[in-house]
Amino acid sequence: MQLSKEYSIRGVTRDASKPKAQALAKKGVEIVTADMNHKDSIISAIKGSDTAFLVTNYWETGDPEVEKAQGKTVADASKEVGVKHLIFSSLLNATQISSGRLSHAKHFDSKAEIEEHIRSLGIPATFVVAGYYMSNYLQMLRKRDDGSYSLAYPVSKEAKFPLVETVQDMGKFVKPALKKPDAFNGKRIFAATDYYPFTQVTADQYKSFLPDSMAQEMLENHLLIEEPGLFDGISLQESLDALEDKPTTWKEFVKNARV
């Protein structure tokens, strides 16, 4: 089954006049406007949809309460209009899986709470849990004398980062849920090509690179990698086995990025 023949795409945005929205419209995407803060707006935008893909943006406000309210509003609207399958870009609860040790990674916990709310609604849903974005690292790469590249984080060499190339590969991890919604109902798909190690720096060194408003949150974000792990030690194999299309490796990404 080719998804392009089975589905038409509706893109929901606050401003349909923006260049990115216009570019999608030129590709045949139906562009509609909505505000995630207002349920009636969301209902109008997604009514008649078989599947809804939900992404919340914590960093727009830095307020977990805003993110949770928006995610729950879309989930409630999806149930009300009879969406057959909701796919949510989720994260694990950092506070819970670290037994309370890492309680400042709010953008993890807020998405996890939205996932819990979706599960409580009893609607068919799949949760795609993205790893670290490869694209975020381009400005942080350091070239070594031997021509290789390194990244530095406040974790030991034993810590492994699950990396994903979002531009090319996120659709590959969402595709299984679209093609086999019953098989992935209630399940998580972990979006990462592999686990990768990075070079260590101290916690204070790492925080010194960041604004005070987000330094502790991002520090704990990375400490989560070491113990218990961004995906709580879960193997990637089941998620990778579900893919029809080979995901991008870190080596391929760096080579193609020409950093």
Provide the pLDDT confidence category of residue 139 given band limits of 50, 70 and 90.
Answer: low
pLDDT tens profile 44-102: 999 999 999 999 999 999 999 999 999 999 999 999 999 999 999 999 999 999 999 99
Question: Could you give the C-alpha distances from 21 to 13, 17, 18, 184, 207, in angstroms and in order?
Answer: 7, 7, 5, 30, 36
CA atoms in the 13 A half-sphere facing the CB of 80: 15
31 bridge partner residues: 11
Assigned token pair, 112: 């996890």
pTM: 0.87
Give just the sign of the alpha carbon dihedral 68, 71, 77, 80: negative
For the chain, give the mean pLDDT: 89
Q: What is the percent of the chain with per-residue pLDDT over 70, rounded to a whole number?
A: 87
Provide the pLDDT confidence category of residue 223 given band limits of 50, 70 and 90.
Answer: confident
Mean pLDDT of 216-230: 81
Q: Is 52 inside any structural domain?
A: yes
Q: Please count the structural domains in the chain.
A: 1
Q: Is 194 inside any structural domain?
A: yes
Q: What is the pLDDT, as a whole number, of residue 227? A: 87
Mean pLDDT of 111-133: 97
Domain residue limits at 103: 34-257
Amino acid at 215: A
pLDDT tens profile 7-17: 899 999 999 99
Q: Is 23 inside any structural domain?
A: no
**E strands along 70-187, which residues?**
85-90, 125-130, 132-133, 142-143, 149-150, 152-153, 161-164
Find the CATH number of the domain harbouring 99: 3.40.50.720
* CB contact at 8 A, 92 and 152: no
pLDDT tens profile 176-213: 999 999 999 999 999 999 998 876 656 676 666 567 77
* CB contact at 8 A, 191 and 236: no
Q: What is the pLDDT, as a whole number, of residue 143? A: 62
